[in-house]
Structure 1
Amino acid sequence: MTCPEISATAGLLVLLASSAVGQTSDVTVESLMKRLDGVAPAEVLANATLLNPTDSGDMQVLREGTNGWTCMYPGTNPMCADEASMSFLQSWMKNEDPPDTLGFVYMLLGDEGASNIDPHAEAETPDNQWVVTGPHVMLLGSGAKPLLDSYPTEVPEGAGQPWVMWPGTPYAHLMMPMP
């Protein structure tokens, strides 16, 4: 994925992560690396492209990576995504059919929540099954579809059980909580 494609994808992520407002463009590689510490294995983060949302909502490329991973802290949901996942996320944000890929995302610092059934919900409602997930990884894309029938579509009781998020949509993916 080229730098403009990464910037476009990440910019789209920031649009939904409205809590990114207030982050500044004066973030350094060092300060972002400290904020991202623990979001993915150190080996992934060490050589990943680093993106930072600015006050204007644009994405600032702080460092070009060499390992095919992109790490960012859009709003309150820090993540590291491989190239296939970035394509999937871009399709999701544009409400387009996702590419025929299998992608992997680390979110080992957890998230602030999302609807389990509506891929485009921006806030919790009484009927959108809002779920806040602790540390987890995700398998995204058509390559994950063969696995989806083996897992529940609602968040299981108790920690550590995988489930399918956004079932019945083109963006269904496997959520796997991590200890």
Structure 2
Amino acid sequence: MSIPSKLGAGRCIHAIAALSLVGTTTIAAAETAEDKIARAMSAAPSDISEAATIMDVDGTILREGSNGWVCLPGIGLIPGDQHPMCNDAVWMKWMAAAGSGSAFSTDVVGVSYMLMGDAMVNNENPMATDPNDGGVWVQEGPHTMIVFPNMDMLADLPRDPFAGGPYVMWGETPLAHVMLPTEAKTAP
């Protein structure tokens, strides 16, 4: 299922909420809304997060925003995750596609911030769940992610997350995007 680009931010927020996988933990259940809002806001520069809508991983709106950005206290696609992210409308469509297992495409550039880092993921396969599967696994520190209308223009970017600088994640899938790390990392 593809979410039409004509959806407004509010409808897109509700679409992602309906499609996200929700994970809860005892720690997350004990958190206050204020704690979740503070963590969500830490994902992006304050000039974005201060006016962003803050949405919990289950789709509950914790705070209405005014700038079209949506910040989450964790990634609903990873049960129990507490790595915050802030997404523009294109990335919210990307999240909906990832949550539903459907194809994603865009005709404009999309941006997501994860300035507090990310969970360990397989750089080649978005559906991989076992770090011992022999794939290339990476746990990125602070970074920005960008999707492009035409990923062919990124053919010369490395797919190796340990090459240094920007790289393509999930490059052979419809969920391909560019990772822009802000800190060095070493291969495991």
TM over 0.5, shorter chain: yes
> Which structure 2 segments of 5+ residues have no match?
1-7, 75-80, 184-188
Shift in Å at residue 124 of structure 1? 1.6
Matched residue, 1:34: 38
Matched residue, 2:62: 62
Q: What secondary structure is seen at the aligned counterpart in 1 of 2:56?
A: strand
Q: What secondary structure is seen at the aligned counterpart in 1 of 2:54?
A: strand
Matched residue, 2:103: 97
Q: What secondary structure is seen at the aligned counterpart in 2 of 1:24?
A: helix
Matched residue, 1:8: 15
Cα pair distance change 1:95/1:24, threshold 3 Å: same
Query: Aligned match of 2:174 in 167, 170, 173?
Result: 170
Q: Check if 1:80 corresponds to 2:81.
A: no
Q: Check if 1:150 corresponds to 2:156.
A: yes
Matched residue, 1:125: 132
Matched residue, 2:123: 116
Mapped to 2, the partners of 1:108 and 1:133 lie a distance apart of: 10
Q: Percent identity?
A: 31
**8 Å Cα contact 2:122-2:137 kept in structure 1:** yes
TM-score (norm 1): 0.82
Q: What secondary structure is seen at the aligned counterpart in 1 of 2:91?
A: helix
Q: What secondary structure is seen at the aligned counterpart in 2 of 1:139?
A: strand
Shift in Å at residue 60 of structure 1? 1.3
Query: Aligned match of 2:56 in 52, 55, 59?
Result: 52
Cα pair distance change 1:31/1:110, threshold 3 Å: same
Render the CA deviation track for 1:22-44: whole Å, top value 9, x for unaligned.
Answer: 3238632x322322353101011
**8 Å Cα contact 1:98-1:170 kept in structure 2:** yes
Render the CA deviation track for 1:64-92: whole Å, top value 9, x for unaligned.
Answer: 21101000012222100000110112112
